[in-house]
Amino acid sequence: MSDRFLFWGPTLIWATTWHAILYQLGDVSVLQSVAMRFGLASVMLFAIARWRGESVASSVGLHGWLLLTGAVQYGLNYMATYEAEKHLASGLLAVLFSLMIFTNAIGGALFFGQAITRRFMAYGAVGVAGIVLIFWPDIAATRSGPGVLGAVALGLTAITMASVGNMLTLRLTRRGTALVPLLAWSMGYGAAALMLVGAIGGVEFHLDPRPSYWLSLAYLSAFGSVVAFLLYFKLAQRQGAGRAALVGLIIPAAALLMSALFEGWRPTLVSSAGIVFCLAGLWGATRPVLAPAPAHPG
């Protein structure tokens, strides 16, 4: 698979999940829905591993790392995200998550020795500015207060957990753990962690009778979790965690285009400029580094 496919595959899938999640809202708690999403994704990944003849057996020590990865990446990350969303506009949350470009790049440099160029950071900042412009009405309408500040802290915690989960996953693959079984176990552990938190917190278990709920759950599990994360981590293995996180620049713009098609959203001059900034940031951050011209003798 080409690097372009590995980039645009998860980008377009995660852009559509913004719309699919709307069908998850109802009597079922968010905690339960997310746990069911990753639990079902885990079952699918185990089936894929078996079909491919990959072993899913792991040592006790490895299970400890898989548990940590799942709890951080698919448990704490999503819990903090949804708690933050109770007090923050989705636009501000999108801006916070676009900062994963920098946290992933720093993590890649610290743990894997991956170089960070000034151009990458500069164009990454251009892309983040584009996210700010796209969601400027939401951001401008946000009123400061203890609840908002706490939600921003939760959002920053979520992106930190997501980056830590990225580093743990890539570390395990570098130690020889196959990606499909790794994701199967970690998503399963993440789902179990969410259900445990729900049980401790007294969250009631419900089953939604609507077909739209189950169809969207199947889509979020099969495509939003299994396919998208497999492609994303393959991209991170090839190009580094920072470059892979550039999907966060394009997902909001692509999601708004989906909203224009299905929900009647209409772009403004400011949001259109934001989309241009996002594309410019992506273009600049992914340009190949040109080797210096050889010096002429004499």
pLDDT in tens, 232-284: 999 999 988 888 888 888 887 777 777 777 666 677 888 888 888 888 888 88
CA distance linking residue 98 with residue 185, whole number of Å:
27
pLDDT in tens, 45-71: 999 999 999 999 888 889 999 999 999
The stretch 83-108 carries a mean pLDDT of: 79
The stretch 198-218 carries a mean pLDDT of: 89
Q: Quick one: pLDDT at residue 229?
A: 95
Helical axes 269-286 vs 118-134, angle rounded to 10°: 160
Tell me the average pLDDT of the chain: 85
pLDDT in tens, 147-178: 677 878 888 888 889 999 999 999 999 998 99
Instruction: Give the start-to-end residue ranges of the domains of the chain.
Output: 3-286
CA distance linking residue 40 with residue 248, whole number of Å:
25
Structure tokens at 167: 């580093």
Q: How far apart are the first and last CA of the chain?
A: 46
Sign of torsion over alpha carbons 58, 166, 162, 272: negative
Q: Can you give the length of the chain in residues?
A: 298
CA distance linking residue 87 with residue 161, whole number of Å:
19
Task: Tell which residue, 185, 181, 235, has the closest CA to residue 73.
Answer: 185
Task: Tell which residue, 172, 164, 179, has the closest CA to residue 74.
Answer: 164
